[in-house]
Chain A
Amino acid sequence: MIVIPLIKGMLHTLRRFLFGPTFTVQYPNRKRWFIFKKEERKEIPPRARWRIALQRHEDGRERCVACMLCSAACPSEAIYIEGAVNDLSKPISHGERFARVWNWDMGRCIFCGFCAEACPEEAIVMTDDYELARYTRDDLIVYKAELLLPHGTPPRRVWLGFYRELPEEKPVTKPLGVHVRHERYLNRENKGIYKPFYDRAKRAHQFLLEEEK
């Protein structure tokens, strides 16, 4: 009989009508990530790569020293920097130079995170600010004043292009040499799935240190 499957179908839709859960997320009112995962995540994943930001030191100086490595690493040429020499009596950054102009063209950016990875001073971090829509193309070019994190923002570490919140007991206060930074990476407590890489890198690091001695 053809009627039975028809009735079955009707009952199916009726069940959905009466008891079905609603999957729509009312976006501007409620922001939810990965609703199809069983555990409902309320926060953005910690390694999300969205709007970039420029970090500061604890004393308010900028970390960026206008070395241009980020703009060289950028595959889509989204970063434009003009450097200038610091006034030593009132330095803007900790280095010799600082970025007079630091423009990020959001329209070109592909959010790959290479800039954050390339930055030797950990000035660039990728943040979780994903609401990037603008009304005009001109607004898509973001200037330094907007990119700089406000004074007092907790510092973030960059590793493989992602940012991490630092543990509170180890705030970044002064510019770090490559060795020191490496050591800090390698002595991290939470290594996660990258533990084998850490261990190997740590062994290599110690080997190098012993060689130097």
Chain B
Amino acid sequence: MNISPELWNWIWLLVKVLVILIVVMVGLVMNMVWAERKVSAFIQQRRGPNRVGPMGLIQVVADILKMAFKEEIIPREADRLIHFLAPSLIFTMAITALAVIPYDPWFYITDVDFALLFVVAAAGMGSYAVMLAGWGSGSKYPLFGGTRSAAQIISYEIPMLLAMMSVSVMAGSLSLQEIVKAQSGLWFCITQFPAFLVYTIAMFAETNRLPFDMPEAEAEIVAGYMTEFSSLRWGWFYAGEYANMVVASFVMTSLFLGGWQGPFMPGWWWFLLKAIAVLFLFLWVRWTFPRVRYDQLMALGWKILIPVALLNLMATAILKVLL
């Protein structure tokens, strides 16, 4: 067999994509659903799912099967194309960002020099899915959820971007691999502590997680943008939410927690370990804090996070020039 090096490259790329998809989908997204129920149960001193499989691990498979056999209901007023598009968009955009994440010094799909922008762009497209779902359902609660999501994502993308910018100023690059390499000494969560805090808070808002889950606030607007979805399409939203969390934790790991940097273990072990710690933070915060009010959400975003992130960016830039 005579295989050209170019073909080998393609095969190697395909293998990497498959490995990442399987690890992220099966290893993280599915187990996150399980972990969320288990963590919430332990925090509330319950037991959580424990009937299907060991410690209820196969519960997710049972849930997916149940969802697949459910009736699919599309509202009469719905815009069918958008209603169809939204669930697929949210998940595809979430896993698109996986292409530029540095998992290991040698294991990544691509390393472009605008990787950070690519991640933000993918996340921005993902928020379209929420808005489209709200618009396309032809129903009022999803519309509320969609508009809330739009306002929230606009107000929280700014501090998130500012925090990312100060990190890239520190590293002198927008490439995630370069940013991770720049953290060989001190991680950016120490040297860029204000940016770290701002990013952490904005991350919860970006992924619609609980202290800021206004778009799907079930006590106020039923289920927000997911109200009119049923069966597997609702399942895609559910999976998309967890995929978004996984991506956000990956970005957080590579921006602030030193990515694959770490002693003794192979790099991707460290990467996964840190990502899982961040994912646990997601669950931990969700089951600790109540939902904030909408005006509190906006006030926090515009009056605190953006000034803090701006000042931090200015200070970083000045120090970078001076030192």
Contacts and interface: CB of A to CB of B under 8 A. Distances in A.
Interface of A: 6, 9-10, 12-14, 16-17, 20-24, 26
21 contacts: A9-B289, A10-B285, A12-B288, A13-B43, A13-B287, A13-B288, A14-B284, A16-B42, A16-B43, A17-B39, A17-B43, A17-B284, A20-B42, A20-B45, A21-B45, A22-B42, A22-B45, A22-B47, A24-B45, A24-B46, A24-B47
Interface string B25-64: 0000000000000010011111100000000000000000
Contacts of B287: 13
Contacts of B45: 16, 20-24
Interface of B: 39, 42-47, 284-285, 287-289
A22 B289 contact: no
Contacts of A17: 39, 42-43, 284
A74 B303 CA distance: 70
B43 A22 contact: no
B284 A10 contact: yes
Contacts of A26: 47
B45 to A, nearest CB: 5
Contacts of B44: 16
Contacts of B42: 16-17, 20, 22
Q: Which of B45, B284, B287 has the most CB of A within 10 A?
A: B45
A84 B43 CA distance: 62
B46 A23 contact: yes
Nearest to B50: A26
Contacts of A9: 288-289
Nearest to B287: A13
A38 to B, nearest CB: 17
A145 to B, nearest CB: 35
Nearest to A12: B288
A7 to B, nearest CB: 10
Q: Which of A10, A17, A21 has the most CB of B within 10 A?
A: A17
Contacts of B39: 17
Contacts of B285: 10
Nearest to A9: B288
B46 A22 contact: yes
Nearest to B44: A16
A10 B289 CA distance: 8
A20 B40 CA distance: 12
A24 B50 CA distance: 12
Given A12-B288, A13-B284, 5 more contacts: A9-B289, A10-B285, A13-B43, A17-B284, A20-B45
Contacts of A14: 284
Q: Which 3 A-B pairs have the closest CB atoms?
A: A13-B288, A20-B45, A24-B47
A16 B289 CA distance: 14
A188 to B, nearest CB: 43
A38 B46 CA distance: 19
Nearest to B289: A9
